[in-house]
Structure 1
Amino acid sequence: MKPLLLFCLLLGACKSQEVLPENCYKGRLSLKGICNNYVIELVEGSIDTSKLEVKWKNPDTGKNYTNAFALSNPCALPVSLKEGDEFFFKLDSTQLTAECVTCKAYSPTPRKSLPISICP
């Protein structure tokens, strides 16, 4: 009986590794500001750090973010995503022409921005 119990405990301790879809990164919608001023943090994957704010502090809240960037094409993000949601994306400059309704109100975002598309 003890070997069976030990096997069950070991099996329960193993976690399956989540695999990133090909050419995709894992991000988190960390801040959903007014007028589609979105802040995304890189959670998994490697993007050239010159394209990200390795550390960014929101001047309004004082909250710190790591590997953050502003979304340069807010129309690419599904409206169903909420702050804190994680998702897979790829860098995609072809999405810069997508159109959606935005306004010009300001909400703080990192200086560096990237265009993305959602991975399937």
Structure 2
Amino acid sequence: MAAFVNRVNRLRRRQLIERGFADRSIPLEVLSSEEVRERYRFRPETIYFIVGIVFNDLDTPTRRSLPVPPLLSVLISLQFFATGCHHLLLTAIHGVSRCSVGRSVANRPRLIAYFRG
């Protein structure tokens, strides 16, 4: 019985940690068409076309752990391929974790090869 009471007391002492969520705004909604072309080397219409084609391969069946949306994943990959910038810079620009950037970039060459033939 004493072990149970000790466990309950430990649980009561724990502090709840508030989770902070990053703002994942979509750059295509904020930037002009020319700014999108400068950053990603594609026009917004073309980016939406690419996302439409590969959406089923990028979308996750659950929303567990707040996955990166397919559009943002494609934008991260396009910016990486267009500029060759470091993962840490992409993390700061798009407000996602470094692991998410790595997964986005690692999965895209297979999808780009889909377009080539």
| Higher helix fraction (1 or 2) | 2
Fold-level similarity (TM above 0.5): no
Length-normalised TM-score, structure 2: 0.28
| Structure of greater relative contact order (alpha carbons < 8 Å, 6+ residues apart) | 1
| Higher strand fraction (1 or 2) | 1
- Larger-Rg structure: 2
